[in-house]
Amino acid sequence: MKNKILKLFRNNIQNLIPYQSARHIGGMHGNILLNANESPLSVCFKSKKKIFNRYPECQPNHLISLYASYVNLSCEQILVTRGADEGIELLIKSFCEPKKDAIIYCPPTYDMYKVSAKIAGVEIKEIPTIKNTWQLDLCNIKSNLIGVKLIYICNPNNPTGNLILLNDLINLLSITSNQCLVVVDEAYIEFSPTDTMTRYLSEYPNLVILRTLSKSFALAGIRCGFTLANQEIINILKKVISPYPISVPVTDIAVQALKEKNIQLMQNRVSMLNNHRIWLIKKLKSIQCVEKVFISQANYVLVKFFMFKEIFKTLWNKGIILRNQHDKKNLEKCIRISIGTHSENVLLIKELKIFSKKNMFSGGVSEK
Percent of the chain with pLDDT over 90: 87
Res 368 pLDDT > 90: no
Higher pLDDT, 8 or 210: 210
Q: From CA 111, how far away is CA 121, in angstroms rounded?
A: 16
CATH architecture of 17-38+262-355: Alpha-Beta Complex (3.90)
pLDDT at position 352, please?
97
Average pLDDT, stretch 240-259?
A: 97
Residue 16 in contact with residue 119, Cβ under 8 Å? Answer: yes
Provide the strand spans (E) within 92-203: 102-105, 123-126, 148-154, 181-185
Q: What is the average pLDDT across 41-53?
A: 90
107-117 per-residue burial string, b: 16 or more CB within 10 A, e: under 16: bbbbbbbbbbb
Question: 78 phi and psi, to 5 degrees?
Answer: -130, 135
**Of 186 and 362, the one with more pLDDT:** 186
Q: Sketch the domain layout of the chain as residue ranges.
A: 17-38+262-355, 61-259
- Band of the pLDDT at 366, cuts 50, 70, 90? very low
* pLDDT at res. 2: 60
pLDDT at 362 over 60: no
Four-point Cα dihedral 214, 219, 224, 225, nearest 10: -30
pLDDT grade for 195, boundaries at 50, 70 and 90:
very high
pLDDT value at residue 13: 77
Please indicate whether residue 10 or residue 78 has the higher confidence score (pLDDT): 78
Question: What dihedral angle (degrees, nearest 10) is formed by the CA atoms of 267, 270, 272, 274?
Answer: -140
State residue 364's pLDDT score: 42
What CATH number should be reported for the domain whose range is 61-259?
Answer: 3.40.640.10
Alpha carbon distances (Å) from 319 to 27, 172, 334, 336, 364: 10, 43, 19, 16, 28
User: 346: part of which helix (H) or strand (E)?
Assistant: helix 342-358
Residue 153: beta bridge partners? 184
CB-based contact 185:210 (threshold 8 Å)? yes
Stretch among 10-24, 107-121, 178-192, 328-342 having the lowest mean pLDDT: 10-24
**Amino acid, single-letter form, for residue 360:** M
Does pLDDT of 118 surpass 80?
yes
252 contact partners, CB below 8 Å, separation of at least 6? 47, 48, 49
Q: Is it the case that residue 138 has pLDDT exceeding 60?
A: yes
Of 9 and 125, the one with more pLDDT: 125
pLDDT band at 228 (very low <50, low <70, confident <90, very high): very high
Query: In the chain, how long is the greatest CA-to-CA distance?
Result: 65
Residue 165 confidence (pLDDT): 98
Averaged pLDDT of the chain: 93
In 3-state terms, the chain is what percent helix, strand and coil (to 5)? 40, 15, 45
